[in-house]
Amino acid sequence: MRAVIQRVNRASVTVGEQVVGQIEGGLLVLLSVAADDGPDDVHYIAGKLRDVRIFEDDQGKMNRSVVDVGGALLVVSQFTLHGDVRKGRRPSFDKAAPPPFARQLYEDVVRVLREQGLRVETGAFQAHMRVELVNDGPVTILLDSQRTF
């Protein structure tokens, strides 16, 4: 499972003309599920999203989590994070999970975060979405549950 997390002042997802998810302050999470992911990957990513300390404390150091600052998460499915362009010019998505499996694990991450008391908004799985954000910092972090980076 891969995630790109961005510390944001605000973010929203629109499908067609309808806003389907929106937050004011917190983390925008672009999330991709690999074909070989499972429950351990769900808990790893959810735990990192909850606990990663990328918000500034009173001394200006990144020392606070989304929980500490009372922020929200906007979690958006993005299978293209598993795109591989090492060969040729067109990405291969062979490592990305098939949609039914990916949807289940994506929903599991959202469920686990909500069970931990976090406010979580989402995009629309398998929809063409417009994602808007105001990146705070900017701060952008990459996560991979297989620890390949």
Give per-residue pLDDT as tens, 89-123.
999 999 999 999 999 999 999 999 999 999 999 99
User: Is residue 73 scored above 90 in pLDDT?
Assistant: yes
80 is catalytic: yes
| Residue 108, phi-psi category: left (phi > 0), alpha (psi -120 to 50), beta (remainder) | alpha
From the candidates 6, 14, 78, 122, give the one annotated as an active-site residue: 78
Position 148 pLDDT exceeds 90: no
3-class state of residue 9 by DSSP = strand
Q: Are 17 and 135 in contact (CB under 8 A)?
A: no
- For residue 149, what pLDDT band results from cuts at 50, 70 and 90? confident
- Average pLDDT for the chain: 97
Concerning whether 122 is annotated as a catalytic residue, the answer is no
Q: Is 22 a catalytic residue?
A: no
Res 1: pLDDT: 98
Q: What is the pLDDT of residue 131?
A: 98
**For residue range 1-14, what is the model confidence (pLDDT) as tens digits?**
999 999 999 999 99
Composition of the chain by helix, strand, coil, percent to 5:
25, 40, 35
Tell me the C-alpha distance between 136 and 133, whole Å: 9
Distance CA 26, CA 127 (A): 23
Task: Report all structural domains of the chain as residue ranges with CATH numbers, in order of start.
Answer: 2-144 (3.50.80.10)
One-letter amino acid for residue 39 of the chain: P
Give me the catalytic one of 6, 14, 55, 79: 79
User: Can you say how many angstroms the Cα of residue 104 is from the centroid of all Cα atoms in its chain?
Assistant: 15
Average pLDDT over residues 57-70: 97
The candidate with the shortest Cα–Cα distance to 105, out of 45, 49, 147, is 45
- Per-residue pLDDT band for 137 (boundaries 50, 70, 90) equals very high
Encode pLDDT of 127-136 as tens digits: 999 999 999 9
